[in-house]
Amino acid sequence: MRTDDLDRFERLFADVMAYYRQDRSDFTQGLFWSALAPFSFEEVSKAFERHAKDPDQGRFPPKVADLARILEGTTTDKAALAWGKTFGAMSSVGAYTDVVFDDPAIHAAVQDCGGWPTMCRIETDELSHLQRRFQNAYKAYAEKGAFDYPRRLAGDRSPDSEYEKIGMKPPKPAVVGDVELARLVYRGGGANGVKVSLVSLSDMASNRLSASSQVIHEE
């Protein structure tokens, strides 16, 4: 959550405490705010709702651990979906083309796994290990909330300077997912694969995903 989410979080937390007929203290609210900050307001709101609807735990006021357990499941689901999207692009885009995903955590996780060409050329018998490594890295970045990442994942091609020498523009990267979100990822990342920028996942509408691969026009 971002700082400008604080007002509506306070209202949500007050409503939750009122539902359970509990007093709201600044300490308790601050504890929840700090623990839930890596997640978006929408995810937090849905987690409170899921807790209230739970036939067993929902009878009692939520604790930080209750919300963390629910949101951890959400992060695990996202990691699995992110792997599915990445694995599909490994086949359809390939190692020789630059790629921009609509999720910055995918960029960071791919870098941790050795880079785009390395992942695309993974042997079949090593795929399950790569999947676990990718999903663990993705979850870590998603839970961290703010991290460095490259604006595009570089393919195994000639450097931009080689194209410039012959008066040609470098190939445009392929886009996997929502084009507008991919533009935000590209603009927020570091140039030439250097990790120099920070992004907050709560700033990204990460639920707006699609499976299409398109081309992004670089600025």
Question: pLDDT digit string (tens) for 13-47?
Answer: 999 999 999 988 889 999 899 888 878 888 899 99
Question: pLDDT tens-digit profile of 38-55?
Answer: 788 888 999 999 999 989
Angle between helices 64-92 and 104-112 (to 10 degrees): 70
Least reliable range by pLDDT among 34-43, 152-161, 178-187? 34-43
pLDDT attached to residue 190: 76
Q: Is the pLDDT assigned to residue 196 strictly greater than 60? A: no
For the chain, what is the mean pLDDT? 84
pLDDT attached to residue 35: 86
Mean pLDDT computed over 164-171: 88
Report which of residues 170 and 136 the model is more confident about.
136
Which residue, chain included where needed, has tokens 């703010």?
Answer: 146
pLDDT attached to residue 210: 38
Contact of 101 with 177, CB cutoff 8 Å: yes
Which residue, chain included where needed, has tokens 């140039």?
Answer: 191
pLDDT band for position 209 (cuts 50, 70, 90): very low
Q: Where are the alpha helices (DSSP H) in 159-203?
A: 160-165, 179-188
Residues 41-49: contacts with CB within 8 Å, 24+ apart? 41/1, 41/5, 41/8, 41/9, 41/12, 41/202, 42/207, 43/71, 43/74, 44/1, 44/9, 44/12, 44/71, 45/12, 47/71, 47/74, 48/12, 48/16
pTM metric for this prediction? 0.62
Q: Is the pLDDT assigned to residue 201 strictly greater than 60? A: no
